[in-house]
Structure 1
Amino acid sequence: MWLGGNGAVQPGPQPGSAAQFTAAPAPAPDADVNAKQIYHDSFILKFSPDGKFLGEIGSANGSKGSLDTKNVKGVAEIRFIPGTHDFIAADGYGNHRVSVWNADTLQFVRMWGAFGHTPSDDPLPMYKPDSPQFGNPVHCADPSNDGLIYVCDRKNLRIQIFKYDGTYVKQFVLEPGTRGDGSPFEIAFSPDPEQKFMYIADGSNMKIHVFDRQSLKELYSFGDGGRQPGEFYAVHNIVTDSEGDIFTAETYHGQRVQKFVYKGMVPLSEVKSGGASAAWPSGGGN
């Protein structure tokens, strides 16, 4: 069991005190709001399945920035790299990088920033898909079965793809007109061995995008903003199980988990025309 935190400016005022509810000054519209925040969550904790503490990466308030090889800074997600004893952290809310650590020794292995370059903490504007560095947050780092890692650069509205060793492969942009909290929040893959379909949780646009993973062609999307079943309020996380069912979690005032049950494959034309409600097309371009 692994726990990573993503809480900024902690410890804060005493819970329940008047100071806790004092509004902070609003940041500039395109500012990197995490650039000067102090992160209590500069660590990852390792536990046994029964809750025994086994070890720690980093220490509270210990981060020295994106080049630090002893601490993390606001990890958004942890995923194990298939066939290895390493895991990758979307490192992420405070840093501008992905970092890889050995699960046995808890030692640093490697890191990289956007396009596979050395990470940088230089303040840059958000919503720039051509930005030379990751913004905040780097919100997902999801490895596929065929040696690739898909990284959600949320506020730069893009997903960058790398090999396991950090070699840059390509990127694509998701909903380039998005502002606010950005577009790609998290990624899940279909459970078939080829992982043919890629599901992208888009928190700001309140939907799930369905892509053909190999071609990176968007097949369609489902969901919309709202409170009813099948609608979303800031869909934040997404995962699939071995049966193909999809589970989503909503943040902010969404505060719920939804389950979408796999019902089999249907022609994509039926999904697009509204003749089927399933989230699993039988092939692209039908």
Structure 2
Amino acid sequence: MNTYIRSIFLILFIAICGGAYAQSASKAPQYKVDPYWPKPLPNNWILGQVSGVATDANDHIWIIHRPLTVTDDEKGATLTPRRSKCCVPAPPVLEFDKQGNLLHAWGGPGAGYDWPKNEHGIYIEPSGNVWVGGNDVTDHMILKFTPQGKFLLQIGGKGESLGSNNTTQLGRPAHMNVDPAANEIYIADGYLNKRVIVFDSNTGAYKRHWGAYGNVPSDEKMANFNPTSPQFANPVHCVRLMKDNTLLVCDRANNRIQVFEKSGKFIREMAYETETKGSGSVWDLIPSDASQKYILIADGTNNEVTVLVRETGQKMGSFGRSGRNAGDFHWVHNIAVDSDGSVYTTEVDTGKRAQRFTKSK
């Protein structure tokens, strides 16, 4: 083979291999369900609607569920006379390790605080402290506990909401995220109010709030499913702080994500599955790993998790479908990741479960 032909083959080889490498390097993460996570609960316990999930610095997985949504058919062991051998509602807050072993369980009404009637949302600070909320029509507060369940702080209270511009009371909050550098907690507020509101995470002192596009929020009734609406729709369902100090907000029923500076200054927005009606498309989101190149969207109406490029909103893939089998979803509600990039999801309505998805090799 002469030198010229060898050079041509070499160029082709480099082009093919280099192209394949570039394609592999830019490939979005893919996932497969772990059908054995979590392990069976002890004490004859059963879960109701699982309305929140978070991971902590130890790669433990925390969920919050709604014991009051366990039906008589499911809690037959608690009835008088006993209806069946199974089951008993588990405590609302449960902590698991990555292998699916239950480590701790606690929560519920107690002295000195207002436990929510319909649990919604959980967040774990880097210090390990646990925040929970609720979205019943009387749940206008969030609560802070130690990892062992000792009460520390309450923001807002039960009763009536005072509107989207009140600085002390919440309005059926959905989700929260702490900025440890500033000791501030951002709250997606929520199912009644139409705003993001910020408090001191140690004292509960009010800091600031804003609505869509960084404007003063309004409680005016507006049509849903409008990705250019001047106001957030209900619910404002998630708030996530990125490592570049941008804040991503789930405007669920307007099928969009809005991006802000921590001050509340609007940066940009991304429309997502804009033809979705029902309960909207953007239920929760989380970066797929530490690089935060991709975000994962929990879409509880279309019942899938979608991989998007964070900076552009480009769809790179998805997993899941509506169904009851392992890996399927019914109202996939919240999402979290651990340090290995494994994904944890929760389901409400009649889904009533948590699932784990590992990265495909």
TM-score (norm 1): 0.78
Q: Which has the higher mean CA deviation after the structures are superposed, 255-264 or 84-93?
A: 255-264
Correspondence 1:31-70 to 2 at 5 A:
40-70=138-168
Correspondence 1:94-109 to 2 at 5 A:
94-109=192-207
The match for 1:126 is 224
| 1:184 alignment partner, SS class | coil
Identity %: 41
The match for 1:281 is none
Counterpart code for 2:189: D
Correspondence 1:1-286 to 2 at 5 A:
1-8=130-137, 40-192=138-290, 194-264=291-361
The alpha carbon displacement at 1:82 in A equals 4.9
TM-score (norm 2): 0.62
Supply the distance in 2 between the matched residues of 1:55 and 1:229 (Cα, whole angstroms). Answer: 38
Counterpart code for 2:321: D
Counterpart code for 1:152: C
Question: Are the equivalent residues in 2 in contact too, given 1:212–1:219 (CA < 8 A)?
Answer: yes
The alpha carbon displacement at 1:54 in A equals 2.2
| 1:115 alignment partner, SS class | helix
The alpha carbon displacement at 1:185 in A equals 0.2
The alpha carbon displacement at 1:130 in A equals 1.1
Question: Are the equivalent residues in 2 in contact too, given 1:41–1:60 (CA < 8 A)?
Answer: yes
Stretches of structure 1 that go unaligned for 5 or more consecutive residues are 9-39, 265-286
Q: Tell me which structure has the larger Cα radius of gyration.
A: 2
Once the two structures are superposed, residues 101-153 of structure 1 have per-residue CA deviations (whole angstroms, 9 ceiling, x without a partner) of: 11111111111100000011011111111111001000001111111111111
Supply the distance in 2 between the matched residues of 1:114 and 1:229 (Cα, whole angstroms). Answer: 37
Counterpart code for 2:200: N
Question: Are the equivalent residues in 2 in contact too, given 1:75–1:93 (CA < 8 A)?
Answer: yes
Counterpart code for 1:182: G
Compare the two structures and name the one with the higher helix fraction.
2
Question: Are the equivalent residues in 2 in contact too, given 1:82–1:145 (CA < 8 A)?
Answer: no
Question: Are the equivalent residues in 2 in contact too, given 1:57–1:70 (CA < 8 A)?
Answer: yes
Dislocated runs of 4+, deviation >6 Å: none
Question: Using CA pairs below 8 Å that are at least 6 residues apart, which structure has the higher relative contact order?
Answer: 2
Once the two structures are superposed, residues 16-70 of structure 1 have per-residue CA deviations (whole angstroms, 9 ceiling, x without a partner) of: xxxxxxxxxxxxxxxxxxxxxxxx1112222233322222212211421000101
